[in-house]
Amino acid sequence: MNKPEINNEQSIYRQSNNIVNVHGCMRYKCFHCGKSFSVFLEIGVEDDGRNGRPRQPCPMFIACECGEMMQDISGYLPLPSIREVLPNMKYFAYDNSKKEYACGIISIYKKG
């Protein structure tokens, strides 16, 4: 029998219906189950403030659906131009809470 999944999409990613603009991405990989994917970066996250918002970092590790952790394996990868997120894309949302140590929030874009 397979190990039950501790986490699922709903518990890991904040579900968002808001279209946001992204400027780059980072690749994450889980060395436990082998899963990997790109997580896009909303304006202000990991962009050194060049797009007009104070810069926020994003986490080096995120939870994997298998219950282990995924880690950044690419560092920052710029997109050729700023674009909108597409449905089911994962991205780090800019944290508008104004907290002192705000950092990108792992999110997934669900249309409408």
Residue numbers at the binding site for Zn ion (CB under 5 A) = 30, 32-33, 35, 64, 66, 68
Query: How far is residue 34's CA from residue 26's CA, in Å, rounded to a whole number?
Result: 16
CB of 80 to Zn ion, least distance (A): 30
Output the six-digit token pair for 73: 């394996």
Which of 66, 103 has the CB closer to Zn ion?
66
Residues 6+ apart with CB under 8 A from 64: 7, 30, 32, 33, 35, 70
CB of 27 to Zn ion, least distance (A): 14
CB of 60 to Zn ion, least distance (A): 16
Which of 45, 64 has the CB closer to Zn ion?
64
Residue 21, SS3? strand
